[in-house]
Amino acid sequence: MKNKKVKQKANKKSKPKMLDKKQKKFITVKEIEEKLDSKLKKIIKKENYRRETIKGTIFLVGFLILFGLFSFLINVIPNLILQIEIFIANLILAILKAQGLDGSVLLLNELPVIELINGIKIQISYLCTGLMEATVLLAAILASHGIAWRKRIIGALLGIALAQIFNITRILLTITFILDSDIQTIEFVHNVFFRVTLFIVIVGIYAAWFWIATRK
């Protein structure tokens, strides 16, 4: 009887040990799954990072090449910049005349100048043509690898049109400040405010196009 009781006690004590082994085995499998899952996530993260790095490099190289090419063509074509400057000057003058401000466009030192009847002269230079904004947007949009060419071409044309509308608005606002403000305000608006907003407009137009072109 004593032997039986000892055996029964021994069996009772041995059962929890078996459960402990099973429990340990179960925890080990779970830990392995968690480690594999963690490693898989790291591999996917590294792969995504590698792909984005390649895409970014392709975009940067493409942008620099296209920007250099477009800038070269603009400067190589005879009198292209001057003709665009004259066109912008005449367009601005036409808008001013519609607002009741008369004047004329003159060429001084090979640059078009809008001379108003009140004697104020406004020089239209390369920075007033919108060519810089157009070149940056054209190069950035066309260099956006992975987006259909149709979307890129349409985006480039619309982007240039929007940038030019902003450019004309900027010139008209500057003229308004010239007519109504002191020299300090004019210099701040022309040299600081409009240059900052120019950068924001270029980035904003590109970001809006990229979001529309890549959404599903």
Give the DSSP per-residue string, 32-93.
Answer: HHHHHHHHHHHHHHHHHHHHHHHHHHHHHHHHHHHHHHHHHHHHHSTTHHHHHHHHHHHHHH
Please provide residue 2's backbone torsions phi and psi, each rounded to the nearest 5 degrees. Answer: -65, -40
**d(C-alpha 119, C-alpha 124), whole Å:** 16
Tokens matching residue 107: 């060429």
Enter the pTM of the model: 0.72
Model pLDDT, residue 28: 65
Q: pLDDT for 150-204, tens place per residue?
A: 999 999 999 999 999 998 998 888 888 888 777 777 777 777 777 788 888 899 9
Q: pLDDT for 125-142, tens place per residue?
A: 888 888 999 999 999 999
Angle at 202 between CA 114 and CA 61, to 5 degrees: 120
Element (H, E) at 174: helix 149-180
Query: Strand, helix or coil at 111?
Result: strand
Residue 21 pLDDT > 70: no
113 touches 105 (CB < 8 A): yes
Give 52's pLDDT tier (boundaries 50, 70, 90).
confident
Q: pLDDT for 92-125, tens place per residue?
A: 999 999 988 888 898 888 889 998 887 888 888 8
